[in-house]
Structure 1
Amino acid sequence: MLEKLPEVIGHALQGVRAGLDHIVFNTLGMRQGMASIALTSVAFADHAPMRSRHTADGEGLSPPLQWAGLPAGTVSLLLIVEDADSPTPNPLVHAIVVGLIAKSDSLAEAAIPSQDNEGIGLHVGRNSALQASWLPPDPPPGHGMHRYAFQLFALDSAPEFSETPGRDEIFDALREHAIASGLLIGTCERADGSIKTQDGVTAPGPLVAG
């Protein structure tokens, strides 16, 4: 993680981004003909700003998610959230959740544990801060808009994962068992030390990248 990144460095690194082509959804090399999952949120539209309550300048809660269109043969679901615009070689991981039951069609707000929030007991993997929790969006000042990729996958089995699986572990499982996928993009931007959000809140926040 990049912490306390000065705004001048954020401006200098505006062209340095992991890129959407490096998120799991686009690097998995999934076979053609894979089904598509309709992934949405009542908290933000696709490619639109997220609410402050779901970022580091608000309560830092994970946003609500809903989905439809799971194909026959779905046994379990897996969610990974990545920052496609982090100034790092690979996208920063903000959340991993494995073992979601196939009959589910949503995650409530704050379902994933975060600071001062216990969540609902999901099997949560490691984010890029090496914590089994939701890492709230906190883009570096002056770096421009960041796109947070919420990626949901349907699996044809329920693989056994370690206690806190990381990106590499879930990537291997997806390569073998994914049969459908869905993608939702939420955005967040920090300008002049404040986060620009959907609800117009521009509260000063800590200078942390991600």
Structure 2
Amino acid sequence: MIKHPIARLLRPVRAGISKIAWHHSANAVAPELITVTSTFAEGAAIPRRHAGKGVGADVSPALHWSGVPAAAVELVLIIEDPDAPLPRPIVHGLFSGIDPSAGGIPEGALALEYSAGPGFTIGVGSFTRRGYAGPRPIPGHGPHRYIFQLFALDAPSGLGGAATLAETLAAIDGHVIARGKLTGTYERD
């Protein structure tokens, strides 16, 4: 008997990397000046601790960054899975009002009950979730990429805590002066 037959049939079905915020027309022209790091290397597996509910502890990883331009007044972080078998990538986290001088955020800082400083807001991700939602791909669907995209803005976004991805992209349009990303992977058999 084939294990996870539906997931295996859906393996070629992916939302697509071209649909993530990184490739949104307004963001794609910004230079990639920011280096984003964590406890996992670029392209490596995300530790199970950071996987979603029922799989891991659903604790957001610590993130560190460098190369943020001095002109930046705010950072926006968008976490997306472009490998979900859906028309659009799944938004696993949407955060704005991040202090550009912070240099990073500690483990667990993207939880709904946490505040990473004044002005820090947590938007609405896929399925109306707020806060960090760790990797939890369909078992047998193959590896999924989780892309932590950091955008430096030259003006405050003005986003509130209930902002959606569409509202966030509209708010940062024309204000992204630099960007950086970190890609981690997760797979369930």
TM-score normalised to the size of structure 2?
0.90
The Cα offsets for residues 133-166 of structure 1, whole Å up to 9 and x where unpaired, read as 1111100011100000000000001121133111
Quick one: which of 45, 54, 60 aligns to 2:50? 54
Which residue of 2 is the match for residue 20 of structure 1?
17
Matched, 1:38 2:32: no
**Structure 1 position 103, deviation (Å):** 1.3
Task: Indicate the SS of the match to 2:22.
Answer: helix
In 1, Cα distance between equivalents of 2:135 and 2:157: 29
For these two proteins, the number of residue pairs brought into alignment is 182
- Give structure 2 stretches of 5+ with no counterpart: none
In 2, Cα distance between equivalents of 1:156 and 1:128: 27
Q: How does 1:84-103 map to 2 (within 5 A)?
A: 84-103=82-101
In 1, Cα distance between equivalents of 2:45 and 2:111: 22
- Give structure 1 stretches of 5+ with no counterpart: 1-5, 192-210
TM-score normalised to the size of structure 1?
0.82
Amino acid of the structure 2 residue aligned with 1:119: Y
In 1, Cα distance between equivalents of 2:141 and 2:27: 32
RMSD: 1.6
Identity of aligned residues (%): 37
Contact preservation (8 Å) 1:149, 1:183: yes
Which residue of 2 is the match for residue 139 of structure 1?
137
In 1, Cα distance between equivalents of 2:157 and 2:145: 29
Could you list the structure 1 runs, at least 4 aligned residues long, displaced by more than 4 angstroms after superposition. Answer: none
Matched, 1:187 2:185: yes
Matched, 1:129 2:127: yes
In 2, Cα distance between equivalents of 1:109 and 1:128: 22
